[in-house]
Structure 1
Amino acid sequence: MKKILSIALSVFFIHSVSLAQWPSNVKVVEGVQSDSTIVKGNLADGEIMEDLSWAANSSNACFVSFQNPKFRGNHVFFATTIFSRTELIISVKPTNDTANLSIYAYMQGADNYTMVPNLPSCITCEADYKWDRKWKGKTQFSERYVKFSNPTGRTYNILIGVSSPAGITEGEFELKIKKK
């Protein structure tokens, strides 16, 4: 009886794990093993996200609420895995250099597939968007970057969101994930 129960629990666990995955609106970029991977996207494939309160929540701390206007356009989602003792630089570059894109990404456990706006917390969240003013000694181009480091022996999921200001619901871009 114990053996049957053990086998049944094992099958249930394996089945549960295999069902855990990203929703269909997330393009999965398989774990980046090589130097870099580039995928193409278009804001037209995304949807507007009305609720951005998750981003300013102290459990996520992705971007402050007064930056919300920079994320009011369509959101397109990608996901990847960050392996142990790895650093990833994730960037988005519009095909049209004058386009205004924003990027955010958050890291969560390898068995966690939680999506925004229903994100109660994450390990870390980073965002990059167009500056409101010039910074002395710095120049901003159309490419946006976020960076993640994983010094642990564990693997984590990273969800990436590409967005734009209100009214911009179309625009091609390249998403690059570079392993360091």
Structure 2
Amino acid sequence: MNNLSIIDKAFNEHREVSSLTSLLSKEISFMGEEVYNAISLGKKLLIFGNGGSAADSQHIAAEFSGRFIKERRGLPAIALTTDTSVLTAIGNDYGFDEIFRRQVEAIANKGDVLLGISTSGNSQNVIKALEYGKLIGCKTFGLSGNSGGEMNNCCDLNILVPSNVTARIQEMHILIGHIICEIVDEKIIV
């Protein structure tokens, strides 16, 4: 396959998945409203995932705590993927499956929003954090793909990007994250 064929295929897949994902606008709107409601009540958004989803967690948290489109106060969003000392200490002492749950235990409060990101929906460290968050009264949301995996069982809402191609799922996750930021930006008092 030549370069142009690779490019055409990627853009065609992206357009198709984007079009199908746009059919989830009610779910995306609901998630945006819930994030706004929590933040307006002084709660925070905790975001986590592995690999590319870890990078997406950081990207989305930065849009909230820094700025997305308009000038406004910084909003309380934290990526649980960034502190290498915490990640390696918890991973070493308790196991990789505990790296997010333990952080949720340490810093989440009732009413906070947890956003777990996993393209398969089966990342055990993400699932454990969501399950624990639900136990302590957090709102639990997910961004996953295909069938949603085990995350369907531990999220108040798990948005399933209709694809089984990791790259296309991740592209939609960041788009959804941006849309949620824009929903909050439009409602938040500057």
* Bin for the TM-score computed over the shorter chain: under 0.3
TM-score, normalization by structure 1: 0.26
Which of the pair has the greater relative contact order for Cα pairs under 8 Å at 6+ separation? 1
TM-score, normalization by structure 2: 0.25
- Which structure has more helix as a fraction of its residues? 2
Larger radius of gyration: 1
